[in-house]
């Protein structure tokens, strides 16, 4: 279940209640008259089955409530209620398979913002990757994969393409196109400094046989990226954080960026180009897979939406008869 809170002008409260009354998946409706101070108005609260959340939000947005007041939605961990069980049964579909689109957009928007924290994590990941390359250490490379934060903007870009959110797409591309050059430039400077003071000593990449898979581009590079992108998007929409960690350590995005930097410092331009190509293939594969997963979820959701619309229509007629 999800907890819904709506702040609206008093003259629109009946419209909001009508939306909830017509929704079979909504229950525990509470009205607090003149309780809201900023923005001023009434407060309407309800618990909504996850499968019905999109319908409720769309109906409230059609009333323009988001501009006159506010619509907030959050998870409810524990619900002991017969009414809640009835609401979940009345809403077609399974909660685990339901994608609340506004929730997904909001979550990915936060993860796709270019800020100091994002740049710090990306730079640290690139530095770890460069150390892993120089020391020929797969363990250090895996550490870089765990730290890397770029899946957030990549997932946000997939959501933006699937939902035609131009602003979210711009935000994601901005984070990626500025974040990676910044992190790679910082890694290049740090690598050159460490080479100058003797902390790193590398003349050639020929002996790095434990991590050379990073720049070896092939058909499986795209296959791994697509599979990782699909798993990552499924983990995101179902809130499976443990699965996301598995995605992070399966694709060589940041390691490829770190390898490209190290290759430049030793004049291995071919390897640097291959590493950059590997980086691009992984990023494109993740985004394409994410879009495909969301498209399939959207198609599956449309069938459930039709069933829900029929249930809503019947509920509206019942409400009207009661009035």
Residue pLDDT, tens place only, 230-264: 988 888 887 665 556 656 666 789 999 999 999 99
pLDDT (mean) for 38-55: 93
Domain boundaries along the sequence of the chain: 2-92, 103-301
pLDDT of residue 37: 95
Question: Which pLDDT band, with edges at 50, 70 and 90, does 316 fall under?
Answer: very low
Tell me the pLDDT tens digit for each residue of 166-192: 999 999 999 999 999 999 999 999 999
Tell me the pLDDT tens digit for each residue of 194-214: 888 888 777 778 777 888 888
The answer, as to whether pTM is greater than 0.85, is no
Residue 158: exposure state from Cβ atoms within 10 A (0-12, 13-18, ≥19) = buried
CATH fit for domain 2-92, picks 3.30.70.120, 3.90.920.10, 3.40.50.40, 3.40.190.10: 3.30.70.120
Tell me the pLDDT tens digit for each residue of 273-313: 999 999 999 999 999 999 999 988 777 655 445 545 554 45
């Amino acid at each position: 279940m999800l907890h819904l809170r709506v702040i609206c002008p008093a003259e629109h409260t009946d419209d909001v209640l009508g939306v909830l009354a017509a929704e079979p998946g909504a229950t525990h409706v509470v009205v607090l008259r003149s309780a809201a101070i900023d923005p001023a108005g009434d407060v309407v609260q309800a618990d909504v089955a996850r499968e019905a959340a999109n319908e409720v939000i769309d109906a409230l947005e059609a009333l323009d409530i988001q501009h006159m007041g506010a619509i907030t939605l959050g998870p409810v961990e524990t619900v002991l209620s017969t009414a809640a069980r009835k609401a979940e049964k009345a809403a077609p579909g399974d909660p685990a398979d339901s994608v609340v689109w506004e929730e997904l957009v909001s979550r990915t928007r936060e993860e796709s913002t270019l800020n100091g924290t994002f740049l710090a994590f990306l730079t640290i990941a690139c530095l770890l990757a460069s150390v892993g390359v120089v020391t020929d250490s797969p363990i250090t490379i895996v550490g870089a994969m765990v730290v890397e934060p770029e899946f957030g903007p990549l997932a946000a870009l997939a959501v933006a393409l699937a939902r035609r959110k131009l602003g979210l797409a711009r935000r994601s591309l901005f984070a990626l196109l500025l974040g990676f050059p910044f992190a790679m430039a910082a890694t290049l400077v740090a690598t050159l400094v460490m080479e100058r003071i003797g902390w790193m000593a590398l003349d050639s990449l020929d002996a790095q046989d434990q991590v050379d898979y990073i720049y070896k581009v092939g058909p499986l590079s795209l296959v791994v990226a697509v599979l990782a992108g699909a798993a990552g998007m499924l983990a995101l929409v179902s809130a499976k954080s443990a699965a996301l960690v598995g995605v992070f350590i399966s694709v060589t995005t940041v390691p490829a960026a770190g390898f490209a930097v190290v290759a430049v410092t030793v004049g291995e331009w071919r390897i640097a180009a291959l590493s950059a190509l590997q980086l691009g293939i992984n990023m494109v594969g993740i985004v394409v897979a994410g879009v495909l997963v969301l498209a399939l979820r959207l198609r599956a959701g449309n069938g459930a939406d039709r069933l829900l619309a029929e249930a809503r229509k019947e509920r509206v007629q019942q409400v009207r008869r009661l009035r």
